[in-house]
Amino acid sequence: MKAMDIPRDPYNLIITGVGGQGNVIASRMIGDMMVRAGYRVTIGETFGVSQRGGSVMSHMRISHTSVWSPQIPEGRADMIVALEPIEAIRVMSYYGNPNTVVLSNTRPIYPVGAIAGEMTYPSLDEIRACIERLARSVAFINATEEAVRLGVAILGNVIMMGAIAGTGILPLNIERFKEIIIKRLPASQHEVNITAFSRGIELITNTAWTHPSAR
């Protein structure tokens, strides 16, 4: 079932990842789609030195009526979308609550401390278990692997955007995506982006959500 409206006002969405994964552009595109659908949107993000290997996040506030703070208050995230899996845990720890929905890419980007052997990067099963303990429901998709298959690894962000649309929680769909990429991207990139977005929708549709209550 496709959403006709936002489930809560403001609806608080966080897109997180590591600098260079296309986090900022993903939040801008979703923001553009929501504004075209008639909403008022605020996006808060940081870039600059934080991009150099650091954790990044975009805070989105989607509302019918008002401009909200570009920083979401503690525990108020309704949905967290992670382009990198441990970032989902990091963001949950401050912004999550027992009703948060989490959508995560499976592909790790190792912190340099983990590459150097100074710390351990958890397994995907461990990450899954952690998020299940904290969130209402969680789904993992292989966005980067799919993007590599499409020949453009950076499109993991667009696949994740498709997955957000595919959850049916927000009034997003492929038609709206097409409208905004025509404005934003050169024609040569339209087809591969649309394919990536559609793959995201398919992937999430075929992915089982896990809920702590169901176990």
> What secondary structure, in 3-state letters, does 130-161 show?
HHHHHCCEEEEECHHHHHHHCCCHHHHHHHHH
Question: Which residue lies nearer to another protein by CB, 44 or 168?
Answer: 44
Q: 77 vs 30, 73, 96, 129, 214, CA distance in Å?
A: 16, 8, 5, 19, 22
Binding to another protein by residue 186, rule CB under 8 A? no
**In this structure, how many other beta carbons lie within 10 angstroms of the beta carbon of residue 122?**
15
Min dist CB 83 to another protein, Å, is: 12
36 HSE (CA, 13 A, CB side): 17
Binding to another protein by residue 113, rule CB under 8 A? yes
Beta-bridge partners for 40: 63
Min dist CB 193 to another protein, Å, is: 15
Min dist CB 94 to another protein, Å, is: 8
Run of H or E including 200? helix 190-205
**Residues of span 38-67 touching another protein by CB under 8 A:** 40-50, 52-55, 67
Binding to another protein by residue 189, rule CB under 8 A? no
> Which residues are near another protein by CB under 8 A?
18, 20, 28, 31-32, 34-35, 40-50, 52-55, 67-76, 86-87, 89-90, 92-94, 96-98, 107, 109-117, 119-122, 126-127, 130, 133-134, 144, 148, 153-154, 183
